[in-house]
Amino acid sequence: MEIKIEESFADSIKSSASLNTGRGMVAYTCSYIPEELIAAANLIPYRVYGNKESNLADKYFPINFCPYVKAVWEEIHHNTILDAIILATSCDGIRRLNDYISYYEKELPVFMLDIPRKSDKDSLGFFAHNLKNLWIFLCGISNVDPGNTDIIKASSSIINRKRTLLKELTKHYEADMHQIIKNDDYFNIINISLSSETDTFNNELESYIKKIKSLKENYDTVHNDFKSNLKIMIIGNYINDNNFWSIFENLNVKLISSDICITYRYFDIGLEKNYEAPGLENDIFTDIANSFISKPACFRMADIKSKLNDIKAQIYENNINGVIFASLKFCDNTLYSFPALKNELNKMKIPSIFLDIEYGKSSYGQLKTRIEAFIEMLNL
């Protein structure tokens, strides 16, 4: 029996497409932007997906420019239901996106969240300060009293439930060697989680996980058609491209411990207070700043040495057979990190492959050939 994602998550999908909830919608671009602040201001957080189809952005941006930035620009240009957009100082590309929105889309309020590149005490305090400014900005959009920070706590607990459920989903997905949760389904669910009303999504995900569990109990004894136990780790940046995931649809592999912007880096966020705070404000913003700065780091944030150590640990712990390094094209922060990673993987004798993703405009045929060949190579 197959569980259809579109059916299981019908309400979530609806909640992102139309605004029948009566709440405003605020787009954001980066996993370091805390959704709880947006939701606490009574707005729906929407991790902007981007319009991958049209070519308007090519008139504005250079040819060798981040395809995600271009796709977001394209979407912003056509999207009329957004109340604001939150960007982060993730990279030069997003800095320029802010310039373009401020200049060509003047009606859309935009906030640039400055995220420090370091995690020492000063950076933490600086980040907390910036988060507070973001909160004030959001309250201005939805006429909420910024003094009322208790609502942030409430909102955090809803978002945290989503994070916990996504972690649970991941646990089932990674342990499931029968492809009850298909590779592309798993990533589709995460994609839905990025842009839907959180409560609705949480409920649907909860019942989906229940269904999976019961299916699994029956499956283990009856079927055993999934032959390969190949475990692949995907490392990269914002790889959120259904065309890309559909390449994996019928491949006998598992994508384990993926290190990209929409997996652990998105939902493995603990909100426990585990920092010493002399000289820091003892408030919710410092708490959030701390948990975001200590979540699994991306290539912009991490120092390369500890990032490589983390990856190594994941590979050994999960018996990973091969690594796919997938980067959105022209992403400097990611591309500069690959040489060191490749070198390390070679030393570990872990086969790896480098893929450029053009986010909707890739030549998927060629990507498919490369991925299939890579898997054939691991299987031989």
Give me the residues that bind another protein (CB under 8 A), please: 59-62, 64-66, 89, 91-93, 95-96, 98-100, 102-103, 112, 114, 116-118, 122-123, 126, 129, 299-300, 303-305, 329-330, 332-333, 335-340, 342-343, 351, 353-354, 356, 363, 365-366, 369-370, 372-374, 376-377, 380
Least Cβ distance, residue 88 to another protein (angstroms)? 10
Dihedral (CA of 366, 369, 375, 377) sign: negative
Number of CB atoms found within 10 A of residue 107's CB: 6
Q: Which one, 196 or 334, has the nearer CB to another protein? A: 334
Q: Which one, 231 or 329, has the nearer CB to another protein? A: 329
Q: What are phi and psi of 325, to 5 degrees?
A: -100, 110
Residue whose entry in the numeric block shows the structure tokens 């709440």: 23
Number of CB atoms found within 10 A of residue 211's CB: 13
Q: Which one, 275 or 354, has the nearer CB to another protein? A: 354
- Distance CA(49)–CA(196), nearest Å, equals 12
Q: Which one, 6 or 376, has the nearer CB to another protein? A: 376
Number of CB atoms found within 10 A of residue 268's CB: 13
Q: Which one, 224 or 369, has the nearer CB to another protein? A: 369
> Do residues 251 and 258 lie in contact, with contact meaning Cβ atoms separated by under 8 Å?
no
Least Cβ distance, residue 133 to another protein (angstroms)? 9
Least Cβ distance, residue 205 to another protein (angstroms)? 34
| Strands laid side by side in the 24-28 sheet | 43-47, 24-28, 84-88, 110-113
User: What is 344-376 written as a DSSP string?
Assistant: HHHHHT--EEEEEE-TT-S-HHHHHHHHHHHHH
To the nearest 10 degrees (0 to 180), the angle between helices 198-222 and 150-175 is 20
- Distance CA(327)–CA(338), nearest Å, equals 9
Least Cβ distance, residue 229 to another protein (angstroms)? 18
- Distance CA(111)–CA(30), nearest Å, equals 13
Of the candidates 22, 76, 29, the residue with the CA atom closest to the CA atom of residue 44 = 22
Q: Which one, 129 or 161, has the nearer CB to another protein? A: 129
Least Cβ distance, residue 374 to another protein (angstroms)? 8
- Distance CA(245)–CA(11), nearest Å, equals 23
- Distance CA(350)–CA(90), nearest Å, equals 30
Least Cβ distance, residue 215 to another protein (angstroms)? 29
Q: Which one, 109 or 351, has the nearer CB to another protein? A: 351
> Do residues 255 and 234 lie in contact, with contact meaning Cβ atoms separated by under 8 Å?
yes
Least Cβ distance, residue 71 to another protein (angstroms)? 15
Least Cβ distance, residue 352 to another protein (angstroms)? 8
Task: Tell me if residue 355 falls in helix, strand or coil.
Answer: strand
Least Cβ distance, residue 43 to another protein (angstroms)? 23
Q: Structure tokens of 344? A: 């390390």
Q: Which one, 226 or 338, has the nearer CB to another protein? A: 338
Q: Which one, 47 or 307, has the nearer CB to another protein? A: 307
User: What pairing do the DSSP bridges indicate for beta strands 253-255 and 322-328?
Assistant: unpaired
- Distance CA(358)–CA(362), nearest Å, equals 5
- Distance CA(237)–CA(262), nearest Å, equals 8
Q: Which one, 78 or 305, has the nearer CB to another protein? A: 305
Least Cβ distance, residue 287 to another protein (angstroms)? 19
